[in-house]
Amino acid sequence: MRRAIVSLNRVWIALCTVLVCSPMGWAAPNLIWIMADDLGYGDLGCYGQKVIQTPRLDQMAREGLRFTQFYAGATVCAPSRSVLMTGQHHGHTRVRGNAGTVNPKAQALRPEDLTVAKTLQSAGYRTALVGKWGLGDIGLAESGLPRKQGFEYFFGYLNQHHAHNHFPSFLWRNEERVPLPNVITAVGETGAGYATEAKIYADDLFVDEAIKFVNQNKNQPFFLYWSMVIPHANNERNRDLKDGAHVPDYGPYATQNWPNQDKGQAAMITRLDTNVGKMLDELRRLGLAENTVVIFTSDNGPHNESNHNLSRFQPAGPLTGIKRSLTEGGIRVPCIAWWPGTVAAAKQSDHVAYHGDWFATACELTGAAKPSDLDSISFAATLRSNPAAQAKHEFLYWEFHERGFSQAALYQGRWKAIRERNPEAPIALYDLHSDIGEKLDISSSNSIIARKLDDYLKSARSESADWPIRTEVPKKK
């Protein structure tokens, strides 16, 4: 009896949190975070793309808010997702790099980690993850499995190498393996490889599953993390067949006089665009649009791993660099916010934000208690067109552990410092207000700002046994 009373009390508290403590005073909104995989700042028409067709995301931008200086949590997959989940910047979050099968525990969240999903779940939200996870795996690092990190329901890929294959032989529903009829040439033991008989495209399943979750929970508050795989390359297929852009068809690009890799890359992005449109249409059909915040973004900058022609598409737009770079092209990403009736239509914002800010934003929007140890500032005021009330970051921080140890920081949304491959290396300094392409190092002529950023980089991170600082080993001549 006592347990039953305690359980009812918890339900009542959660209900009060959602219905009474919300900022709107009556009902907190549903939350949908849609994240593409390796989509560049310049890959969408509303961000300047001239070749690839993205009509639905362009419409989303016309109906909502487009951020012009929004950043990924990291320049590669796993740490970017860790920053999103924990609301801690790259030097504080649990997972700071792509460890893969070499050290899977270093690429998994732990029981003591507090995620935005756990927090929303405690506030009475139904929570689901559809698509790619990358922060825990069956038999390798089970502490990070989605259902141990705040998601009631999961469907998709656990392992990021498995997620390279868009036509997999299986996916996961919670902790149960779901076989698919695709026949693959396996590479390794993670499920990676490529299809020799391609029948079912994973991202087509994901949009159906995401829409199904929304329908099942239309009468209660929900948080959906829809983590697409497109337009990530199939790296293994590219190594063997020299074409990592595997799609069911080339869509509107089938008749273009382009290499298949270029057709496939463009088709993936247009397919992604169509799928986002399906979700927005369904929210309107269900009458949920005015009470649902939808954020669309990417996990990091664009890739070059499908063997496609970067110069054809200019996926980073005016920015320098791509995925695995700490220049703007590797970390500045598209971000569109859509919330009809609250987010003003056809607006753009230069507010500087990043993935880690989603935690605080979700807490403010829902009335959930924000943890005290976050590197997270809510951008809810920007969503509500109230820039005077919008708090700002003094610094943003990134690091990169491949090929040595590199760091980057942004100060006051303007001054960008990068230290390459050695913690003792001098920094390069750029003024993004006048040099968005980071062409001119001005560290020598701006010594005070350079010193401030240098000091910050030396103190910004906490030590991690899983992610120690490594100095690049010089190549033998």
What number is the average pLDDT over the span 259-268? 98
376: phi then psi, degrees, rounded to nearest 5: -140, 125
Same domain, 387 and 425: no
* Alpha-carbon torsion (313, 318, 320, 325), positive or negative: negative
Structure token digits, residue 431: 């003024």
DSSP letter string, 336-391: EEE-TTTSPTTEEE---EETTHHHHHHHHHHTPPPPTT------HHHHTT-GGG--
Q: What are phi and psi of 70, to 5 degrees?
A: -110, 140
Of 26-40, 142-156, 459-473, the one with minimum mean pLDDT is 459-473
Total number of domains constituting the chain: 2
Residues 43 and 155 reside in one and the same domain: yes
- pLDDT for the residue numbered 340: 98
d(CA 281, CA 278): 5
The CATH number that applies at residue 330 is 3.40.720.10
With respect to residue 473, please indicate whether it lies within any of the assigned structural domains: no
Residue 25 pLDDT more than 70?
no
Give the whole-angstrom CA distance, residue 71 versus residue 277.
Answer: 23
104/253 same-domain check: yes
Is residue 467 a part of any domain in this protein?
Answer: no
Kindly report the backbone phi and psi dihedral angles of residue 404, in degrees, each rounded to the nearest multiple of 5, phi listed first.
95, -165
- Are 379 and 421 in a shared domain? no
214/101: higher pLDDT: 214
Q: 272 and 220 share a domain?
A: yes
Q: Which of 362, 82, 115 is nearest to 221 (CA)?
A: 362
137 secondary structure, DSSP code: B
Kindly write down the DSSP assignment for every residue of 295-313, as one continuous string.
Answer: EEEESSS----SS--HHHH
Strands 347-349 and 65-71: parallel
Domain stops at, among 372, 393, 414: 393
Is residue 464 assigned to a domain? no
| Shared-domain flag, residues 382 and 404 | no
Residues 187 and 326 in one domain: yes
On whether both 196 and 153 belong to a single domain, the answer is: yes
> What pLDDT is recorded for position 3?
38
The answer as to whether 382 is a domain residue is: yes
Is 140 inside any structural domain? yes
Q: Are 457 and 427 in contact (CB under 8 A)?
A: yes
Is the CB of residue 331 less than 8 Å from the CB of residue 302?
no
Lowest mean pLDDT among 97-111, 132-146, 436-450: 97-111
Q: What is the CATH number of the domain that holds 424?
A: 3.30.1120.10
Of the three residues 371, 393, 415, the one that is the final residue of a domain is 393
CA–CA dist 236, 272 (Å, integer): 22
Task: Kindly state whether residues 299 and 366 are assigned to the same domain.
Answer: yes
Q: Residue 473: what pLDDT?
A: 52
Rounded to the nearest integer, the mean pLDDT of the chain is: 93
Residue 438, in any domain of the structure: yes
CA distance 279 to 32: 10
Q: Which letter does DSSP use for residue 28 in this model?
A: P
What digits encode the pLDDT tens for the residues 237-263?
999 999 999 999 999 999 999 999 999
* Token digits of residue 167: 């036509």
SS3 content of the chain, % helix, strand, coil (to 5): 30, 20, 50
* 274 and 294, same domain (yes or no): yes
- Domain range for 422: 397-459
> Which pTM was predicted?
0.94
The answer as to whether 6 is a domain residue is no
Statement to judge: residues 285 and 427 lie in one domain: no
Look-up of token digits 């990403």: 333
CB atoms within 10 A of CB 314: 18
- 388 shares its domain with 402: no
Phi-psi sector, 188: left (phi>0), alpha (psi -120 to 50), beta: left
3-class secondary structure, 108:
coil
Q: Within a domain: residue 194?
A: yes
